[in-house]
Structure 1
Amino acid sequence: MPSDALDVAGLTVRHRDVLAVDGLDLRIGQGETVALLGPNGAGKSSTVSAVLGLVRPAAGRVRVLGRAPADAVRAGCVGAMLQHGGLPGEARVGEVVHLVRRSYPDPWPLDDLVATTGIGGLLGRPVDALSGGQRQRVMLALALAGQPPLLLLDEATSAMDVEGRCAFWATMRDLAARGTTVVFATHHLEEADAVADRVVVLAGGRVVADGSSAAVRSAVAGRSVRLTADRVPDDVPGVTAGTRRGGVVTLATTDVEATLRGLLDAGVPLTDLEVRGASLEDAVLSLTTGAAR
Structure 2
Amino acid sequence: MTRTTAVGFDRVTKGYGDVRAVDGLTLALHPGETVALLGPNGAGKSTTLDLLLGLRRPDAGTVHVFGGEPREAVVAGRVGAMLQSGGLMDEVTVAELVRLGCALHPRAYPAADVLARAGLTKIADRRVDKLSGGQAQRVRFALATAGDSDLIVLDEPTTGMDVTARQAFWATMREQADQGRTVLFATHYLEEADAIADRVLVLHRGRLLADGTAAEIKARAGTRRISFDLDGGPDGSPDGSTDASPDGGRNGTVDEATLRALPHLTALDVSGRTVRIQSADADATVYALYGLGLYPRNLEVAGLGLEQAFVALTAAEEAKQP
So what's the TM-score if we normalise by structure 1? 0.93
Q: How many percent identity over aligned positions?
A: 48
Residue of 274, 297, 315 corresponding to 1:248 = 274
Question: Would the aligned equivalents of 1:35 and 1:192 in 2 still touch at CA under 8 Å?
Answer: yes
Structure 1 counterpart of 2:44, which letter? G
Question: Would the aligned equivalents of 2:95 and 2:115 in 1 still touch at CA under 8 Å?
Answer: no
Question: Would the aligned equivalents of 2:98 and 2:115 in 1 still touch at CA under 8 Å?
Answer: no
- Deviation, structure 1 residue 246: 4.3
Q: Deviations over 1:194-252 (max 9, x none)?
A: 11000111111111111111111111222111112242443444434310234431012
Moved more, 95-104 or 273-282: 273-282
1:106 — aligned with what? 107
Structure 2 counterpart of 1:29, which letter? H
Alignment of 1:143-222 (within 5 A): 143-222=144-223
Question: Which consecutive residues of structure 1, in runs of 5 or more, have no partner in the other structure?
Answer: none
2:17 is the counterpart of 1:9: no
Q: Deviations over 1:55-84 (max 9, x none)?
A: 121111111112211111111111111112
Structure 2 counterpart of 1:148, which letter? S
Quote the RMSD (CA, aligned, Å).
1.8
1:130 — aligned with what? 131
Q: Deviations over 1:122-146 (max 9, x none)?
A: 2101101111111111110001112
Runs of 4+ in 1 over 6 A off after TM superposition: none
Q: Which has the larger radius of gyration?
A: 2
Structure 1 counterpart of 2:295, which letter? P
Question: Would the aligned equivalents of 1:216 and 1:283 in 2 still touch at CA under 8 Å?
Answer: yes
2:309 — aligned with what? 283
Q: Deviations over 1:62-117 (max 9, x none)?
A: 11112211111111111111112111011100000111111123311233322221
Moved more, 237-246 or 223-232: 237-246
SS in 2 for 1:4: coil
- Deviation, structure 1 residue 188: 1.3
Count of aligned pairs between the two proteins: 292
Structure 2 counterpart of 1:109, which letter? P
So what's the TM-score if we normalise by structure 2? 0.85
Question: Would the aligned equivalents of 1:3 and 1:30 in 2 still touch at CA under 8 Å?
Answer: yes
- Deviation, structure 1 residue 269: 3.5
Question: Would the aligned equivalents of 1:204 and 1:291 in 2 still touch at CA under 8 Å?
Answer: no
Moved more, 103-112 or 27-36: 103-112
Structure 1 counterpart of 2:317, which letter? A
Question: Which consecutive residues of structure 2, in runs of 5 or more, have no partner in the other structure?
Answer: 232-252
| Higher RCO (CA 8 Å, separation ≥ 6 residues) | 1
1:19 — aligned with what? 20
